[in-house]
Amino acid sequence: MENTVMDIVYVLGTGSGWNDNEIRFSLRSIEKNLRNVGKVFVVGQCPAFLQNIIHIPAADIFEPGLNADGNIITKVLAACNDKRLSDDFLFINDDHLVLNPMNIEDVPPLHKGDMCTFNADYWKLNFWRGRLKRTKEILERKGYTTLHFDCHTPIIFNKTHFPEIVEQFNYKDDIGYTMKSLYGNVMYPDAPFLIDQKRTVFSHYTVEQLNERLAAADFMSFNDLGLNRSLKWWLIENFTSKSRFEKDYPKDRIFDLYLWQLNGCDYKAGVELFCQHNKNRHKNLQQMFRMGETETLRKKLNFKLNTTIKEL
């Protein structure tokens, strides 16, 4: 049986806290681990470093703090209206990564359980859970299952069925509804339960803790709270190679340190790195290092640069 080639859709707004490097590493994970990928669509904003993608410009039409899912739905609808998009496609967020090799058509529609069984305190944590509760209630009224599909994992949509499904729900009204749970409960009522196929990084971990936490997972997602220097190191260590979707390499101290170490800790490169990231301090050290390599200066430079690495 011939494998199914499937396109990928990302939607982007203006909320990146990391110069859009989230999608950079998501794309690296796709190129490394996902087979049978067709075209990549980016709907909304488009970072300048991207190439070899199809960009569909789209603005946020709802107040992001009120109906963020409504903005996502309208962008996915824009992709569905594009004739170039494959009938089935993978929707993935920019902060989601694929960690193990698999065929794109085998990405499962995972859920976190029946929302009707969640206790009352679950819905009080934040504003977004109020939208999820509203989604549960409309699904109940319409006679669908009430599984929680909005669990930070990729999901396969169909470009014909997606518009048909979301049009059943007034997603533009009030605070809207959560998109994946709308689609998943209509299309995937028998979907598999999320156990350990995916792990989140929503708080600070060391590199050692990240390796342990993510070792058995097929997918991972992270947020701004989890994005510390250790996670950056983990990302560049596991997805070092630039993908075909990037024009350049990311600019970040952690990435520069990793590549310096990977390339043998060259003295001249280290001096440039030290000076670049200490422009307004350690002026005396900068002058000393630039005088030329000696055994003492090399050890001192290595100590300075490796101190950050040892703390990860």
Q: Which long-range CB contacts under 8 A does 265-273 form with residues at least 24 apart? A: 265/302, 265/305, 267/293, 267/297, 267/298, 267/301, 268/293, 270/301, 270/302, 270/305, 271/301, 273/305
Q: Supply φ then ψ for residue 50, to 5 degrees.
A: -80, 145
Confidence (pLDDT) at 88: 98
Confidence (pLDDT) at 3: 73
The mean per-residue pLDDT over the stretch 25-49 comes to 98
CB contact at 8 A, 185 and 141: no
> How would residue 1 be classed by pLDDT, with cut points 50, 70 and 90?
very low
The mean per-residue pLDDT over the stretch 24-37 comes to 98
Give the pLDDT confidence of 251-284 residue by residue, as tens digits: 889 999 999 999 999 999 999 999 998 888 889 9
> How would residue 78 be classed by pLDDT, with cut points 50, 70 and 90?
very high
Work out the mean pLDDT of the chain and round it to a whole number: 95
- Amino acid at the residue 199: R
What percentage of the chain exceeds 70 in pLDDT? 99
The mean per-residue pLDDT over the stretch 1-28 comes to 90
Confidence (pLDDT) at 312: 87
How far apart, in whole angstroms, are the C-alpha atoms of residue 161 and residue 152? 21
What percentage of the chain exceeds 90 in pLDDT? 90
Question: CA separation (Å) from 47 to 50, 70, 94, 133, 251?
Answer: 6, 22, 12, 33, 14
Confidence (pLDDT) at 2: 59
Confidence (pLDDT) at 234: 97
Q: Using alpha carbons, select from 214, 251, 249, 256 the residue that is nearest to residue 231.
A: 214
Give the pLDDT confidence of 143-183 residue by residue, as tens digits: 999 999 999 999 999 999 999 999 999 999 999 999 999 99
Q: Which domains does the chain have, with CATH numbers?
A: 6-196 (3.90.550), 253-310 (no CATH)
The mean per-residue pLDDT over the stretch 49-69 comes to 95
Confidence (pLDDT) at 280: 82
Sheet holding 219-222, edge to edge: 96-98, 219-222, 198-201
Does the pLDDT at position 123 exceed 90? yes
Give the pLDDT confidence of 211-243 residue by residue, as tens digits: 999 999 999 999 999 999 999 999 999 999 999
